[in-house]
Amino acid sequence: MSVNVDGASGVTRQSTGSGRAPRAAAGRGRIVILALLFAVTAINYLDRSNLSIAMPHIKEEFGLSATQQGLLLSSFSWAYVVAQLPGGLFVDRVGPRVAYAWAIVTWSVATAATFLTRGFASVLGARLALGAAEAPSYPANNALVTKWFPSSERARATSVYIAGQFIGLAVALPLLSLIVASFGWRSVFVFTGMLGIVFVVLWLRLARDTPPADGTEAAPAPESAKARISRSDVRYLLSRKRLWGLYISQFCSNGVMWFFLTWFPTYLVEAKGITFIRAGFMGMVPYLAALCGVLLSGWWSDRLLRSGASTTRARKVPIMTGFTLATVIVLANYTSAPGLIITVMSVAFFAQGLSAIGWTLASEVIPLRMIGTGGGMFNLFTNMGGALVPLVIGVILDATGSFNGALVFMACLTVCGLLSYLLLIDRVERLDPDASR
């Protein structure tokens, strides 16, 4: 019997000699884990997007300005950003399975509580609570993909769970629009909150932190194999040019996505004069285009890797293509035809989907023993885009009375994301903080 330490999971493996059954179990387990991550990400984004769908009605009931709407639409991300490092540490300490269970219950309660709000301040409080509660989600996703999937499969695995966010958004627009029209805007928060409460039972039953090793049984890790995160580790995560390239590019990609997540329904209804229900059904097309983009990006990246391309080329080419193509969003300023608007927005959001697999690079660049905290750091900068972009758009609307400047701002973000890949990310390989000490 041999013993080895799994550096990714911090688990000591004891060989039992027969590897076939554990390998089969691991294969089935990967499918289960990926299905769970897809589903929880879809629910996660239903809870993030419900406010944008209800916003035209909330605006009328509470008499909100565009800047106030921008504050509410971005408030989720303020708390989400602040809670990223604690959320990543929480994932490292208790494991992604337990961290996710706590997060799902807490964010579902915060979502349902929006039913009780009576004005700007109470909606703001509910959204801040939701943002803080969802903070462990993507660090946990990243930790599970890193532990369950080899490098050659991580881009596809990442693209599949990221696809959950676009499925959630595509379903949210028509479904939640119908619920708002039929039962009032408060009902959508009860509906989406209850989904999470039901799902957490399934999560606890099926989710596991680590796969069974080939022919091995898990045993407690020696103390030296367990991750310890120090202040110097945090400083390390803030001192590497390659990581800053990831932080900036994902800020830009996520900023564009948050336009679609927050202001897009209002843009269709108020700027382009599309009716509320029609906007719900037409608006799902760009989300489905983004779904195709992220799935294509994951497949394309792994295909390049299998065909002999370097990891750097395989990961960077799809993302840089997406950033370049996404600049077409500004063309929507030059038409008022609903069909052309949806076409332009679909191309732009498809391109954003191509650029959305930055988590694959994060899982291959961040040091393994910092994977939760590093994922939290990465997600912190990612979601600064969500914190700032909706607010900036609200200010632009109040200042100009038009979405034209907002779409130019989106195009500038995509150019900035492209430049960060060209200038800051030299190669894609795992950093080793111990080698530099």
Q: What is the tens place of the pLDDT at every residue in 270-314?
A: 888 777 777 778 888 898 998 899 889 888 988 898 888 888 898
pLDDT of residue 11: 38
Give Cα separations from 113 to 43, 118, 197 (angstroms).
Answer: 16, 11, 13
> Mean pLDDT across the stretch 45-60?
89
Architecture of domain 27-210+238-431: Up-down Bundle (1.20)
The tokens describing 282, both together, are 């037409």
pLDDT of residue 278: 79
Q: Among residues of the chain, what percentage have pLDDT more than 90?
A: 37
Residues 6+ apart with CB under 8 A from 119: 62
User: Per-residue pLDDT for 22 more than 80?
Assistant: no
7-12-16-20 Cα dihedral, nearest 10 degrees: -40
> Mean pLDDT across the stretch 153-170?
81
pLDDT of residue 23: 55
The answer to whether 359 and 379 are in contact (CB under 8 A) is no
pLDDT class of 239 with cuts at 50, 70, 90: confident
The tokens describing 84, both together, are 């990223």
Residue with the bigger pLDDT between 257 and 222: it is 257
Q: In a 3-state reduction of DSSP, which class is residue 3?
A: strand
